[in-house]
A and B are shown apart, each in its own frame.
Chain A
Amino acid sequence: MSQPADHKPTVLRERLDQLADSVSGGDSLDGTQLYRQGVRRRRRRIAATTALIAVAVVIAGAVLGSAVRPEASPEIGPGPASTTEPDGCVIPTRFESDVESGLLTEEKACEYARAMDGLATPEHSFPGGPSIVVEGQVHEDTVAECRAGTYDSGDSFADLYCNAFLKIAAGALDPTGTCGPPICPEGTPVWIYDEAQLHDLADGHR
């Protein structure tokens, strides 16, 4: 934000300056607390978003009559920068810093990685069947940020999140809309479920 020094001060500016100067406060702001609060919020966001996508994967697999098996994908193998856990789970680089920092447990990282890999694996065809979309009410703020291009999840999933959220928003607005990569193949019809219906579907297909 530039603050040109040569601009003639105005009466209003002087009065605003005086007003701001007369206000004390800010002592309650603590950087350490803010930092920890930010970490907790990020942890919640990651968990909520991944759970949302994971549920979508489960239902998509169930609707198609085949379970999603991300570990079966030949494209998702342990790369040079990936970590292979004893149970065979591959923690992609994108989660390694979160695991190292304690933001995610290895188990959670594996769970999220499987869900994300399931989405990214183009092994399913969606022959006009319904894909899964959650009503986007709870993500209204995020959708607005995605539309404005200001959404920052703090990790490498921002594009994927935004794609998902925007598709959700589009579906919520237009029940005849379509879904596209990476959530589903281009042109897949979108069906709308509210959260309760989605949970029912997920429970019924597990």
Chain B
Amino acid sequence: MASTEDAVASFVAAHRRGLVRFGFLLTGDRAAGEDLVQEALIRCLPAWGRLDPQGVEAYVRKVMARLAWKARRHPLNTRSAPGHADPAAADIAEASAELADLRQALARLPSRQRVVLVLRYWQDLNDAEIAKLLGCRQGTVKSRASRAYAQLRQELDWTDDVAIVDNPPAAREDVP
């Protein structure tokens, strides 16, 4: 029992930054992202001893994506309140105004659209992989990704990113 506790502690210390980044993108909010990481880790604990040490992070990320996907029906208990000031906003505003706009646009997306968008464009998963991960149909993935991307384009007035349209991950044939 103590060894599992130690293993969890060292895993969290080593991976928390990467997981929080993923959680932030999935939720559009840093505090909610941290809560998502925490919830996913707790849900992984019972299976911890059975997980391949090399695959733990991927497993936690899967759980995070599923939780974020389901959060529409079962909102996570986040520390964030509507209209709160996300601490990440200050970090991002310092980095660039463009990123601040992207952050706001991402946060305004419906949660499921945001999840699909992040998995597709940030995690580089194709539609089949996303559908399998989230337990939904590929058509659902395509439509949500399309709507999410269209909304981002509209809100951010992007016209220079043809590459996204021409090379969507969904078109890849190299992933079974």
**A81 located at the interface, meaning its Cβ lies under 8 Å from any Cβ of chain B in the complex:** no
Are A34 and B38 within 8 A (Cβ)?
yes
CA distance A7 to B172 in the complex (A): 8
Given contacts A1-B62, A26-B34, A154-B47, contact A17 B122 (CB under 8 A): yes
When distances are taken between beta carbons in the complex, the residues of chain B under 8 Å from A13 are 121-122, 124
- Give the residues in chain A near B81, CB-CB below 8 Å: none
Question: Of all chain A residues, which has the CB nearest B25?
Answer: A20
How many A residues touch B, CB cutoff 8 Å?
A: 47
Q: A34-B41, A154-B46 are in contact. Are A20 and B122 (CB under 8 A)?
A: yes
Q: What's the Cα separation between A22 and B102 when bound, in Å?
A: 12
* Nearest opposing residue in chain B for A13, CB measure: B121
Give the residue name and chain of the B residue nearest to A37 (CB): B42
Q: Which residues of A contact B10 (CB under 8 A)?
A: 31
- Whether A12 contacts B118 by the Cβ 8 Å rule is no
Q: Give min CB distance, A31 to chain B, whole Å.
A: 3
Q: Is the CB of B161 within 8 A of A19?
A: no
- Look across to chain A and name the residue whose beta carbon is closest to the beta carbon of B66: A150
- Bound-complex Cα distance A145 to B80 (A): 25
Nearest residue, chain A, Cβ from B41: A34
- With A18-B95, A41-B42 as given contacts, are A12 and B12 in contact (CB-CB < 8 Å)? no
Fill in one digit per residue for B112-133: 1 if any A CB lies within 8 Å of its CB, else 0: 0000001001111100010001
A16–B122 CB distance below 8 A: yes
Q: Would you give the 0/1 interface string for A31-42, flagging 1 where the beta carbon is closer than 8 Å to chain B?
A: 110111111011
Q: Which residues of A contact B152 (CB under 8 A)?
A: 12
Bound-state Cα–Cα, A153 to B43, Å: 9
Alpha-carbon gap, A13 to B102, bound state (A):
12
Q: Considering the complex, give the chain A residue whose CB is closest to the CB of B31.
A: A25
CB-based contact B88/A1 at 8 Å: no
B135 within 8 A of A: yes
Q: Are B34 and A144 in contact (CB under 8 A)?
A: no
Q: Complex Cα distance A21/B20, Å? A: 10
**Within the complex, which residue of B17, B41, B70, B174 is in contact with A144, where a contact is CB–CB below 8 Å?**
B70
CB atoms of A23 and B30 under 8 A apart: yes
Q: Once the chains bind, are B121 and A12 in contact (CB under 8 Å)?
A: yes
Q: Given the complex, which residues of A lie within 8 Å of B169, measured CB to CB?
A: 7
Nearest A residue to B64, CB-CB: A1
Chain B proximity of A147: nearest CB distance (Å): 10
| Interface hits, A148-166 → B, CB 8 Å | 148, 150, 152-155
Residue contact A28 to B172, C-beta cutoff 8 Å: no
Given A6-B174, A11-B160, A13-B124, verify A34-B8 contact (CB < 8 Å). Answer: yes
Q: Are A25 and B34 in contact (CB under 8 A)?
A: yes
Q: Does A10 contact B (CB under 8 A)?
A: yes
Does A140 interact with chain B (Cβ within 8 Å)? yes
Interface status of A200 (Cβ within 8 A of chain B)? no
Is A206 in contact with chain B by the CB < 8 A criterion?
Answer: no
> Which B residues fall within an 8 A CB radius of A?
1, 4-5, 8-13, 16-17, 19-22, 24-25, 30, 33-34, 37-38, 41-43, 45-47, 58, 61-62, 65-66, 70, 73-74, 87-88, 91-92, 94-96, 98-99, 102-103, 106, 118, 121-125, 129, 133, 135, 149, 152, 158, 160-161, 163-164, 167, 169, 172, 174-175
Question: Which 3 A-B pairs give the minimum distances between C-beta atoms?
Answer: A154-B46, A31-B9, A31-B12
* CB-defined A-B contacts under 8 Å, sample of 10: A12-B164, A16-B25, A22-B94, A25-B30, A25-B33, A31-B5, A31-B8, A31-B10, A35-B8, A36-B5
**Contact residues of A with B, CB < 8 Å?**
1-4, 6-8, 10-13, 15-32, 34-39, 41-42, 101, 140-141, 144, 148, 150, 152-155
